[in-house]
Structure 1
Amino acid sequence: MQFLRRSLVGVFLLAVTLSLFAWAGNTVRLAVQERLNAEPRSFPQRERILSVNVVTVTPRMIEPELTAFGELNSTNTFALRALTGGTVLEVSPNFVDGGRVEMGELLVRIDPRDAQSDRDRLVADLRDAEAEVRDADRALILERDELAAAQAQANLRTQALTRQQDLADRGVGTAAAIETVELALSAANQAVLSRRQSEASAQARLDQAATQLDRARLNLADANRALADTEITAPFGGTMSDVNIAQGLRVTANEQLGELIDKDNLEVSFRLSTAQYARLTGDDGGLMSAPVTVELEAQGLTLTASGQITRESASVGEGQTGRLLFARLDDASGLRAGDFVTIRVTEPALRGVALVPATAIAADDTALVLDAENRLSEVAVELLRRQGNDVIIRAPELDGRLIVAERSPLLGAGIAVQPIDPDAAAVVPEPPEMLTLDPERRARLVAYVEGSRMPPPVKSRIIGQLEQDEVPADVVNDLEARMGT
């Protein structure tokens, strides 16, 4: 009997469980059917409005700047070379890398003994040449005197011949006497001819002596120059570089000993594209003397110098493009030849143009402009220059209007936007209205906050405000609206 009772109880519990499962399943089925058969909920559609940064297009006069990179060079550089060979006897203390020398300062002295000996020998040769000129001059004078005496003798013989011929005509003279006088005259004429030859020889000797004297003087001048070349002086004031000399070394002729650089007279060479070069040319096609600014940045310190363009290279250069320009610097304090610098060239001013962010202009040279209803429309602009993160445009129809400062794929014509002007002055919020609570009202509000379901941090913050002498009016009004008072 006990077994039968327990079996019936188990069957009853199983039936009850199955019934509950069936009831639950039917409830779920009915709920699903009701949800599926219900009409879909409709929400009101609202146009999406995007917030965008805008800028005002303000036409004005702008001087664009070209940015390039170049290298500084000295306009006055001199390679110091040994003009004669020999042993270095003396070197200036300033003749070192980085040494500052003055104009005319003695830098290097080479052993002058060989050059001095050559000069002394040539001085002696010069004295010999001068003595030879004097001897030749005296000999020429004597030869001219002898020629004059021979000519006088010949004249006397001519007169004697004339006299004998007169006697013969009168019948007094004889033929033998005339013949004797003629022979004497012939001998006198021969003597005159001989003296003329001697005079010509004396004149040639004098000319040769004069030539030897000139040659001796030239040789002495060369010797003096060679002697002077043993001392190397600074042709101008500057700084030494690449010094390769020491006392006691032997140098050869034309050997480079160092380089003298005038660091106060610098110029910068830089290369521009052909389009950039065209902007710096005048109406006549010549290069303008545009002002330039040179900058050298080093660990937060910027060295600057100003100048102007002076010339351009005559050729483009093998494997190069554009134009190579040179600008002379006025004051380059702190800069040195060989520095790699940034060059900013000021172009001629552009009128009626505006400077806007580069992100405001699309690749097809269009901008998004806002209308009276803050809807966007595309307007074509003329892109003139790029200035770092900005661009210079010309668009007369955008004068004074707002354009989108930062284009994005979400923006396009016809879209409504909320403009945000980054340059607008910040709006200072007005201070909140404060209330002074009586003790009963304060206690009632505190009791409501403590009994509410607010998070503990919120309760502590609001109770702290309520315990002050003055409480914000919006806090009091909000709590009383919740209390229903």
Structure 2
Amino acid sequence: MKKKMIKTLLPFVILAVAVSSAAMLVSSRPVVKPEAAREKIWTVAATTVAIEDYAPDLKLFGQLVAGRETELRALVVGPVIRTGENFVEGGTVKSGELLLVIDPFDYRAVLDERQAQLAEARARMMEITARHTSEIESLKQDQKQLDLTMKDYERIKKLQKKGTVSNKRFDDSRIAESRQSQLVSTRKNNITAFSAQIDQQKAATKRLEVGVRRARRDLARTKLRAPFSGFLLTKNAEVGKRLSLNDPIVKLVEADNMQARFHVSSSQYGRLVAGGGLKGRKAEVVWRAGDRTFRYQAIVDRAGASIQAASGGVDVYAILKGSGIDQPLRPGAFVEVSLKDFNYKQVIRVAQTAVHTDTVYVAKDGRLDPRKVTVVGRAGEDALLRGPIVEGEKIVVTRFAEMGPGMKIEVR
């Protein structure tokens, strides 16, 4: 019985000893303390702060347009008998260069006829003037003769009263005085008539002079010349074609006044106007043709007549310097336009990646120091800002997800 009890308790005794041994081993083992976690150091890039005035470059796109273009039309009627050597589609012509000639025969004949009529009218004028002058001189002589005749009549009249002359002598004297008075009156009437004829002839001569000038102008219009230097487009005339009055002949596009038309937004327009006005502002126009690049200096001339409702912006025109028929420029070319934006006073220029809404981080004592800033403008991929930052400090331009105040950094 005793052996049976020992046999039953033995497993429990062994288990108790094992548990006690394990507990003793656990309690007596050495304790290993965990090491403190190391603070992560972030490698960042930074830019040194410089506070200065800055005017960004506005990069815009536009199109070349001609300062002037006109459709030349026939000013007289007739067949084309000759054209200029550059009278071709796309031809370049200089100011005053001959484009085409309309048959001048009829217009030269009209001019000759008008000139002959004018010469006849002038000769007639000379004749009337001479007769008028002659009548004036004759009137002077007749007036003198009348004075003598009247004196003789008065003398004979006195003698007749005394009975020393006959009645016949008295009557003859009175008749002579009357005839001379009539002659003087006739002379005066003739002078008046000749004066009126002179006025009429002056008017006729003036009218004929106008006719001669008109005929001379029509004759000159048989030769069509370029009113300014440029390029020819849409040619509608050839030798042998009969032109009617006002028929279109060719379109001429001016080459010496090429302009770049480009669009600015409402905000850009406002800044340009506020920053010293738009007119007279310098610009650079770049035209890329294949692998070649052409650069032209330009001056802003004007803004468009209206603001576009869709964009709220306005078209601006800049006149290119050095354009002309010897340049490869043509209307319609797509160009880049660069001009100075508003001049921002005392701003910091920094990469846009450095700006976190209204905050930037300054590298100070190896840690991120947040500063509140105000973004006042843009310059391409950069931001222009003002805030409590001292010149020479370094603004962190690297971004990372865990970025926050006080984080340890290393600037490289």
TM range (shorter): 0.7 to 0.9
After TM superposition, the structure 1 = structure 2 runs for residues 76-95 of structure 1, keeping only pairs within 5 Å, are: 77-95=69-87
- Counterpart of 2:389? 397
Greater displacement, 224-233 / 63-72: 63-72
Structure having greater relative contact order (Cα 8 Å, sep ≥ 6):
2
1:9-88 superposed matches below 5 A: 45=37, 47=39, 50-75=42-67, 77-88=69-80
Deviations 1:295-318 (A, max 9, x none): 234555443222232x32484357
Task: Report the count of equivalent residues.
Answer: 376
> Where does 1:160-171 land on structure 2 (aligned, <5 Å)?
160-168=152-160, 170-171=162-163
Partners of 1:212 and 1:224 lie apart in 2 by 18
Please give the alpha-carbon distance, in whole angstroms, between the structure 2 residues aligned to 1:313 and 1:205.
61
Deviation at 1:180, TM superposition (A): 5.4
> What CA deviation, in whole Å up to 9, does each residue of 1:247-297 have, x standing for no partner?
2222233333223334344222334345434444578x6546332111234
Please state if 1:335 is matched with 2:334: no
* Per-residue CA distance 1:211-261 (angstroms, 9 max, x = gap): 222221221111111011100123344332232222222223333322333
SS of 1:356's partner is strand
Shift of 1:61: 4.7
Which one has a bigger Cα radius of gyration? 1
Contact kept in structure 1, 2:73 and 2:246, CA below 8 Å: yes
Secondary structure of 1:397's partner? coil
Contact 2:366 2:410 (C-alpha < 8 Å) held by counterparts: no
For 2:61, what is the secondary structure of its paired residue? strand
Cα contact 1:74–1:337 (8 A) shared by 2: yes
- What displacement does 1:44 show? 5.7
1:435 match: none
The 1:331/1:190 distance shift into structure 2, 3 A limit, reads: closer
Distance 1:242 1:119 in 2: 33
Cα distance, 1:56 vs structure 2: 3.0
**Which residue among 348, 361, 364 is the counterpart of 1:368?**
361
Residue type at the aligned position of 1:368: Y
Deviations 1:349-373 (A, max 9, x none): 555433221122133x321223314
Encode CA deviations 1:391-429: one digit per residue, 9 max, x unaligned: 222345143233332445542334x243453xxxxxxxx
The structural deviation recorded for 1:201 is 1.0
User: 1:158-197, aligned counterparts within 5 Å?
Assistant: 158-168=150-160, 170-173=162-165, 178=170, 181-197=173-189
Question: CA offset at residue 51 of structure 1?
Answer: 4.4
Task: Indicate the structure with greater strand content.
Answer: 2
Tell me the distance in 1 between the aligned counterparts of 2:120 and 2:278. 63
SS where residue 120 of structure 2 aligns?
helix
SS of the equivalent of 2:261 reads strand
1:305 paired with 2:288, answer no
Shift of 1:143: 2.9
Report SS of the residue matched to 1:221. helix
Pick closer, same or farther for the CA change 1:373–1:225 going to 2, 3 Å: same
CA distance in 1, matches of 2:50, 2:231: 51
Match of 1:292 in 2: 283
1:208 aligns with 2:200: yes
Provide closer, same or farther for how the CA distance between residues 370 and 67 of structure 1 changes in structure 2, counting only shifts above 3 A. Answer: same
1:432 aligned residue:
none
| SS of corresponding position for 2:114 | helix
Structure 1 position 105 matched with structure 2 position 100: no
Q: 1:197 to 1:314 in 2, by over 3 A?
A: farther
Equivalence for 1:483: none
Q: Which amino acid aligns with 1:312?
A: R
CA RMSD of aligned residues (A): 3.2
C-alpha contact 1:239 1:260 (8 A) present in aligned 2: yes
CA deviations over 1:73-119 (Å, ceiling 9, x no partner): 33454543322122111112211122122343221001112212211
**Residue 338 of structure 2: which of 332, 344, 363 is its match?**
344
Q: Distance in 1 between matches of 2:313 and 2:182?
A: 87
> Which of 338, 353, 357 is equivalent to 2:347?
353
Do the aligned partners of residues 282 and 386 (structure 1) sit closer, same or farther apart at CA in structure 2, a change above 3 Å counting? closer
Residue pairs, 1:397-436, within 5 angstroms: 397-407=389-399, 410-414=402-406, 416-419=407-410, 421=412
- Please, which runs of 5 or more residues in structure 2 have no aligned partner? 1-32
Q: Secondary structure at the match of 2:63?
A: strand
Identity %: 29
Which residue does the alignment assign to 1:11? none
User: In structure 1, what is the equivalent of residue 372 of structure 2?
Assistant: 380
1:160–1:95 Cα change, 3 Å = same
Q: One-letter code of the match for 1:293?
A: E
Partner of 1:225: 217
After superposition, the Cα gap between the structure-2 partners of 1:234 and 1:288, relative to the gap in structure 1 and judged at 3 Å, is closer
Determine helix, strand or coil for the equivalent of 1:119.
helix
204, 218, 241: which is aligned to 2:233? 241
Change (3 A) 1:180 1:106: same
TM (normalized to structure 1)? Answer: 0.68
* Mapped partners of 1:400, 1:175: distance in 2: 139
Output the amino acid matched with 2:116.
Answer: A
Question: SS at the partner of 2:339?
Answer: strand
Q: Is contact 1:100-1:238 (8 Å) kept?
A: yes
Query: Structure 2 vs 1, CA of residues 298 and 361 (structure 1 numbering), >3 Å: closer, same or farther?
Result: farther
Amino acid in structure 2 at the alignment position of 1:160: D
Name which of 231, 249, 254 aligns with 1:257.
249
Cα distance between partner residues in 2 of 1:178 and 1:392: 123
